[in-house]
């Protein structure tokens, strides 16, 4: 398996929207809700085909929020979990290279939570809630 990781570009937006729209129970965030207007993240590709992406919210602390991890719902290869691991590990390296020492995320998808556990992330077993408000 030959995976590549790169920064998300404006050209990826339509692909990401199609992924969010295809997964049940997902809501497509607006560009303004995402870091760098929808380009502040990483994309994993296999043979130049995008398969997994996630966004990095840099803070004014030593912490970075990794969020909105999404994959191509039509990607059927058995290496999807490896691609997600590659994304998370790549995000960790990207953060280290930018002098960040902590990462956190929010999740409810058990497969994704288990991948984080495998990669030695601490998972709080008590449920929490995402609380947002559109103040426009």
pLDDT band at residue 131 under the 50/70/90 scheme:
confident
pLDDT (mean) for 122-129: 86
CA atoms within 13 A on the CB side of 132: 7
pLDDT band at residue 70 under the 50/70/90 scheme:
very high
SS3 of the chain: CCEEEEECCHHHHHHHHHHHHHCCCCCCCCHHHCHHHHCCEEEEEECCEEEEEEEEEECCCCEEEEEEEEECCCCCCCCHHHHHHHHHHHHHHHHHHCCCCEEECCCCCHHHHHHHHHCCCCCCCCCCCCCCCCCC
pLDDT single digits (tens) 20-54:
999 887 888 999 999 999 999 999 999 999 999 99
Q: What is the mean pLDDT of the chain?
A: 92
Tell which CATH architecture fits domain 3-118.
3-Layer(aba) Sandwich (3.40)
Lowest-pLDDT range, 47-51, 98-102, 123-127? 123-127
Delimit the domains of the chain by residue range.
3-118
pLDDT (mean) for 98-124: 92
For residues 40 and 34, the answer to whether their CB atoms sit within 8 Å is yes
């Amino acid at each position: 398996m030959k995976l590549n990781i790169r920064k998300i570009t404006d050209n990826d937006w339509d692909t990401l929207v199609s992924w969010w729209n295809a997964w049940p129970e997902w809501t497509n965030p607006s560009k303004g809700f995402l870091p760098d207007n929808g380009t502040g993240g990483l994309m994993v590709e296999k043979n130049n085909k995008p398969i997994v992406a996630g966004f990095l919210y840099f803070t004014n602390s030593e912490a970075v929020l990794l969020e909105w991890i999404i994959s191509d719902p039509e990607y059927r290869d058995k290496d999807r979990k490896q691609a997600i691991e590659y994304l998370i590990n790549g995000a960790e390296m990207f953060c280290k290279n930018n002098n960040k020492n902590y990462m956190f995320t929010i999740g409810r998808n058990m497969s994704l939570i288990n991948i984080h556990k495998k990669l030695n992330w601490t998972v709080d077993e008590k449920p929490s809630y995402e609380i947002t408000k559109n103040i426009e």
